[in-house]
Structure 1
């Protein structure tokens, strides 16, 4: 059963009773959240801090690399092919725990040495899970000569998570090369 979905442009859906992502559902949920926490004599900031205390501090970022002309497209294709064919055991000292290849439709669990099918549409996307709840995902744009890097980290504080994110982004750009 579908419960929650969102996209990078901040659209979101809660439940399956509405077929488009918009701010109406978000506003309704926020009002409900405010009512709940006000009754408990808590602010939304208090509630957010409780989430951080329980789950840690997560940071995510989208970074886009723009390539030029046919050589850029060829470079992007070669880079994705290289990432598929060359094992990446670690990055910045973080072990790679899993690799998801959406073009092949397979999730490789590198710790267990096993694989399982992905139940999503085929697409030229690679996602790598790293120890410490860090991850990154690489995909070429379907309409422009761009590579999109989605990056996520977890830290013990906002500063820690932000610093880890900046270092991971810098290392990824070094690894795949600047356009």
Structure 2
């Protein structure tokens, strides 16, 4: 059964290389409960990104990104002051603004795809069968599905299944 793999797992990724190294053995893996709070508290205690990364066995950039995401989340959901959080966690203001801009572009792109992209076409996905005849099918083929909405939904479902499995394993 081990030979059957998903087509996306055939290539070795950068994370695979990082995980071979003991100091970054958790690179690319999901964050466990409490890890983010630990990162933030270590940063408040003036630990560098590299020190935090070596303790959590991740990359320093992933630590930095996680802190940036936390700051963005606090500003958006808890109406905290962005500049005070930047000072509190001793972050580079220019780098944070660049991160925030790229994050917003990514969110806008995701929303555009979620809302149907340019065409707004929301036909269901199905390959036409041979008995459909030569007439244009009412369903889209994989090549016509330019919004990738089903792929996004599938990825969301995969993530939810992963999280549910983790919860079930924690209960055992």
The bucket for the TM-score relative to the shorter chain is under 0.3
Q: What is the TM-score when the length of structure 1 is the normalising length?
A: 0.21
Q: What is the TM-score when the length of structure 2 is the normalising length?
A: 0.22
Larger strand share, 1 or 2: 1
Q: Which has the higher contact order (CA 8 A, sep 6+)?
A: 1
